Amino acid sequence: MKELIVKTENDIKAVMTGIEDNYTDDIRQYFKWIEAQGRGHSFGTIEDYIQHLIDKGASANTINKRIAALKKRMRQIFQESPLAGSFEEEHKLEGFLRRLKTASVATVAVDKRKVISKEEYELLIGDETMPASIKFFCKFLWFTGARISETLNIRLKDCKPQNGITYIRVFGKKRKERTLRIATDFYNGILEHFKGKKYLFEKSGGTYRREYVSMRIRSHSMKIIGRPISAHCLRHSFATRTYEEYPSHLVGLSKYLGHSKTSITTDLYVEQRLSDEMLNIT
């Protein structure tokens, strides 16, 4: 198979590592590895890198995220290359990317390391170094369990204050509609800070970038609580603590989170691991 060569090696690295999103660190790890191996970027190198991750015992989630990162970047650099527009070359690229098989995950249950405690949350939002805008995002995600994409697209016309509670219509996956609820005092605080004309969380007349918000949460949490969390971790935290406090309300929690089936909520948040005590391990 002809290897995909786009511009120079330095250009490839600059393009692939220069994009700031949730995959930036994964791509940097890839280039760190190939430089240590003294190799160049190619189809064969990618295949060997994935095998390296498997051989060293990387988790299925890590392997799959690295594969997703490489697929996204390969498509991006293809569009920046002289090969862009060639159906034959694009067909070769897509054929290769389809052959990068993801690892199977034994369980979809949320890793407890992706959940923060109430104490950690209070440390996070109580820190003076965190910008007010990021604190508002953290608070909203913590109290609603919304997805970051849903949050960023909330329009003012979808917010209805009534008797101290503000009802917020959001659209989740497959445009599935549901309603979130927050205290109107909190809602008014958001309005006062962001001063949106169209969106609840507005910036220069438009929406914030999802990658920007998640990266800011990640970087500040690393400094404040000693470990990086994402915007989605706050959704997991809401779901975990709500289920633990009200286990009999699983159906209601599932609907509030916007899951299409209650079994999704069960798989994610109901403890499925047998403890050492259950197995009589002393």
Claim to verify: residue 187 and residue 65 sit in the same structural domain: no
Q: Tell me if 131 sits within 8 A of 208, measured CB to CB.
A: no
**Distance, CA of 172 to chain centre:** 15
Q: Tell me if 149 sits within 8 A of 175, measured CB to CB.
A: no
Distance CA 29, CA 205 (A): 36
- Asked if the structure places residue 104 within a domain, the reply is no
Q: Which of 59, 78, 99 is the last residue of a domain?
A: 99
Distance CA 172, CA 260 (A): 10
Claim to verify: residue 163 and residue 34 sit in the same structural domain: no
- Asked if the structure places residue 174 within a domain, the reply is yes
pLDDT on residue 280:
57
Claim to verify: residue 174 and residue 245 sit in the same structural domain: yes
Claim to verify: residue 118 and residue 239 sit in the same structural domain: yes
Which residues face 236 on adjacent strands? Answer: none
Claim to verify: residue 166 and residue 265 sit in the same structural domain: yes
- Asked if the structure places residue 171 within a domain, the reply is yes
Residue 201 phi, psi dihedral angles, 5° rounding: -105, 90
DSSP letter string, 103-124: PPPS--PPPGGG---HHHHHHH
Domain that holds residue 14: 9-99
Amino acid identity, position 187: Y
Q: Tell me if 30 sits within 8 A of 67, measured CB to CB.
A: no
Claim to verify: residue 242 and residue 139 sit in the same structural domain: yes
Longest dimension (CA), the chain: 66
What tokens were used for 176? 């599935």
In terms of DSSP bridges, do strands 159-162 and 206-207 run parallel, antiparallel, or are they unpaired? unpaired
Claim to verify: residue 79 and residue 136 sit in the same structural domain: no
**Dihedral sign (CA 149, 151, 155, 159):** positive
- Asked if the structure places residue 21 within a domain, the reply is yes
- Asked if the structure places residue 4 within a domain, the reply is no
| pLDDT tens-digit profile, the chain (282 residues) | 334 444 566 778 888 888 888 889 999 999 999 999 998 888 999 999 998 998 888 888 889 999 999 999 999 888 877 777 788 888 999 999 998 888 766 556 666 777 899 999 999 999 999 999 999 999 999 999 999 999 999 999 999 999 999 999 999 887 889 999 999 999 999 999 999 999 999 999 999 998 899 999 999 999 999 998 889 899 999 998 998 899 899 899 999 998 888 888 887 877 655 455 655 554
The domain that holds 150 is classified in CATH as: 1.10.443.10
Task: Pick the closest to residue 201 from 126, 117, 144 (CA basis).
Answer: 144
Distance CA 94, CA 107 (A): 29
Q: Which residue bears the tokens 């389809």?
A: 98
pLDDT on residue 57:
81
Claim to verify: residue 35 and residue 172 sit in the same structural domain: no
pLDDT on residue 235:
92
What tokens were used for 67? 């594969």
**Dihedral sign (CA 265, 272, 119, 251):** positive
pLDDT on residue 76:
87
pLDDT on residue 6:
47
Structural domains counted in the chain: 2
Q: Which of 47, 67, 99 is the last residue of a domain?
A: 99
Claim to verify: residue 159 and residue 251 sit in the same structural domain: yes
Q: What dihedral angle (degrees, nearest 10) is formed by the CA atoms of 91, 93, 94, 100?
A: 150
- Asked if the structure places residue 160 within a domain, the reply is yes
Q: Which of 68, 99, 130 is the last residue of a domain?
A: 99
Q: Tell me if 240 sits within 8 A of 146, measured CB to CB.
A: no
Beta-strand runs (E) in 19-136: none
- Asked if the structure places residue 57 within a domain, the reply is yes
- Asked if the structure places residue 25 within a domain, the reply is yes
Residue 170 phi, psi dihedral angles, 5° rounding: -130, 160
pLDDT on residue 2:
37
Helix axes 43-55, 24-37, angle to 10 degrees: 100
